[in-house]
Amino acid sequence: MDIKFIGWCKDADENHDKVWGIIRRSEYEYAMFWGRRGKKLQTKIKEMDNYAAGALIRSKRNKGYVEVPKDEVNACYESFGKDLFKLALKVG
């Protein structure tokens, strides 16, 4: 599994506490996940190239998502590993 980006956007003033990420599943298939932290993630599997995936990541950074190191993601999302495993097995 090739995790390209995991981001966390927390803003108390705006009442945001969300995660968003993208995983490369194959050469042209990516799985995206998002949702409020601690809630069930929504997912979407989409065909795109590396350039389009990079543009999507840049847009999320511009919206305030801060990259979370992969080994520290459980600090912001306790059930992340379990949910990520389910996503990796999901058929598009």
* pLDDT tens sequence across 24-74: 989 999 999 898 887 878 889 999 999 999 999 999 999 999 998 877 766
Whole-number Å distance between alpha carbons of 35 and 39: 7
Pick left, alpha or beta for residue 51 (phi over 0 → left; psi -120 to 50 → alpha; otherwise beta): alpha
Q: Tell me which residue has tokens 């966390």.
A: 8
Strand order in the sheet with 16-26: 42-47, 29-36, 16-26, 2-11, 66-67
DSSP percent split of the chain into helix, strand, coil, nearest 5: 30, 40, 30
Domains of the chain: 2-89 (2.20.140.10)
In this prediction, residue 84 has a pLDDT band, given cuts at 50, 70 and 90, of low
- Model-level pTM greater than 0.75? yes
